[in-house]
Amino acid sequence: MLRHSLTVLLVFLLLGCQSLSSSRSLFDELGGMPVIEKITDNFIDEISFDQQIVQHFKESDIDRFRAKLIEQICVEAGGPCTYSGDSMVDVHTKMNITEAEFNRTVDLLINAMNKAGVAHRTQNKLLARLAPMRADIIYR
């Protein structure tokens, strides 16, 4: 009887943990807007330190880039935002971004997330949601 009660208890605990982890959005896991803003600011710093990547941003309105990227990360993470920027194809066309530059930019985003204290497994989830955009961004 005792063993049966313990088994029932264990099953409830396991189910509880499972629903807890699956109901938590990536947005919450990241730490919400303050951490998304921190990641974006760190990312802009990383870009400004990179001799090559920064060339693409010479003519850009960085305040706009910041605002649209925050919205986009928020939406991709399942947060309560709306993306009001242009499509990835429209934005990156005529930039001739190479695969190496794309990979380098991903490295800069990883640096930005590390500096914002985001756990690696959480970083990987965000990267997996951004990765499908690659084809819309490179060689355009």
Sites of contact with ligand HEM (CB under 6 A): 53, 56-57, 60, 64-65, 68-69, 72, 85-86, 91-92, 97, 101-102, 105, 130, 133, 137
Q: Check if the beta carbon of residue 73 is closer than 8 Å to that of residue 126.
A: yes
Nearer to ligand HEM, 117 or 132 (CB): 132
Closest CA to 91 of 36, 138, 38, 37: 138
| Nearest approach, Cβ of residue 54 and ligand HEM (Å) | 9
Q: Choose between 68 and 115: whose C-beta lies nearer to ligand HEM.
A: 68
Closest approach, Cβ 131 to ligand HEM, in A, equals 7
Instruction: State the nearest-atom distance from the C-beta of 137 to ligand HEM, in Å.
Output: 5
Closest CB to ligand HEM belongs to which residue? 85
CA distance 126 to 3: 42
What 3-state class would DSSP assign to 31? coil
| Residue located via tokens 């990547």 | 53
Best CA proximity match to 34, nearest among 106, 118, 126, 127: 118
- Shortest approach of ligand HEM to residue 42 CB, angstroms? 15
Structure tokens at 13: 């605990």
Compare residues 115 and 134 and give the one whose CB is closer to ligand HEM. 134
